[in-house]
């Protein structure tokens, strides 16, 4: 079985996440894509919504796609938040699988990755999704620093650059503007029902 591992805070999950995951599934011929929320802020700010809410939104967003699943391995109490530690956990759960890690170009270019060589050793493929605003030369420098023997595992997905982001969703909600159609419909309803991201009244969900 070929499994895609799509990690992130998903704070909240939005339509671009779903598009990237489905595109990676088709382009890399994956049998399943695991959405793996993290509780760690090693690479980004602390999540704004709690883990339970973020998991509920992921489940709501992916319910209609039988090839998508949620994995909470990186939310357990003893999880470190590092991908190098996550992958052995997933290997134990899916011993017969090969893994493709799916990542946005912004996460790769802007974060100081720890033990990246170890991560690549554990993968069949490391698939990068283009992101608007990420300079090609910044991404190229990161890839060039990867040892040649592992660089062949790195691929850039043939996708358009999508400007949507979780931070954009949160910003619009803070401005009392609508995020409908930026996030899956069940997620839009969930945010409104639970008044997440500072939402007050019907702002953003009217």
Beta-carbon contacts of 179 under 8 Å, excluding residues fewer than 6 positions away, are 169, 172, 173, 188, 191, 204, 205
| Tens-level pLDDT at each residue, the chain (206 residues) | 999 999 999 999 999 999 999 999 999 999 999 999 998 766 567 899 999 999 999 999 999 999 999 999 999 988 998 999 999 999 999 999 999 999 998 888 777 788 899 999 999 999 999 988 887 888 888 888 889 999 999 999 999 988 889 999 999 999 999 999 999 999 999 999 999 998 765 555 54
User: How far, in Å, are 15, 75, 103 from residue 38 at the CA level?
Assistant: 19, 6, 13
Q: CA triplet 103, 167, 73: central angle to 5 degrees?
A: 45
pLDDT of the residue at 41:
64
From the list 167, 191, 176, 195, the residue with the least C-alpha distance to 8 is 167
Tell me the whole-structure pTM to 2 decimals. Answer: 0.93
pLDDT of the residue at 111:
72
pLDDT of the residue at 191:
97
User: By three-state DSSP, how is residue 170 classified?
Assistant: helix
pLDDT of the residue at 192:
94
pLDDT of the residue at 139:
83
Cα separation, 177 vs 71, whole angstroms: 31
pLDDT of the residue at 75:
96
Domain boundaries, the chain: 2-163
User: How far, in Å, are 66, 142, 143 from residue 149 at the CA level?
Assistant: 35, 15, 12
Cα separation, 50 vs 66, whole angstroms: 25
Of the options 3.40.50.620, 3.40.1480.10, 3.40.50.2300, 3.40.50.300, the CATH number for the domain spanning 2-163: 3.40.50.620
Cα separation, 193 vs 199, whole angstroms: 10
pLDDT of the residue at 138:
81
């Amino acid at each position: 079985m070929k499994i895609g591992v799509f990690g992130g805070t998903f704070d909240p999950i939005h339509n671009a996440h779903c598009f990237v995951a489905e595109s990676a599934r088709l382009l890399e011929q994956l049998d399943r894509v695991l959405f793996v929320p993290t509780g760690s802020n090693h690479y980004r700010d602390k999540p704004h919504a709690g883990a339970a809410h973020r998991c509920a939104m992921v489940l709501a967003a992916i319910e209609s796609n039988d090839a998508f699943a949620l994995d909470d391995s990186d939310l357990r109490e003893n999880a470190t938040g590092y991908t190098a530690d996550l992958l052995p956990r997933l290997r134990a759960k899916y011993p017969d699988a090969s893994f493709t890690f799916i990542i946005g170009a912004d996460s790769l270019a802007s974060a100081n990755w720890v033990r990246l060589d170890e991560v690549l050793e554990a993968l069949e493929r490391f698939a990068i999704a283009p992101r608007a605003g990420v300079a090609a030369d910044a991404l190229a420098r990161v890839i060039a620093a990867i040892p040649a023997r592992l660089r062949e595992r790195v691929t850039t997905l043939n996708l358009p650059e999508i400007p949507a982001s979780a931070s954009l969703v949160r910003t619009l909600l803070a401005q009392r503007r609508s995020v409908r159609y930026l996030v899956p419909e069940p997620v839009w309803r969930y945010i409104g029902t639970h008044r997440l991201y500072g939402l007050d009244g019907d702002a953003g969900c009217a």
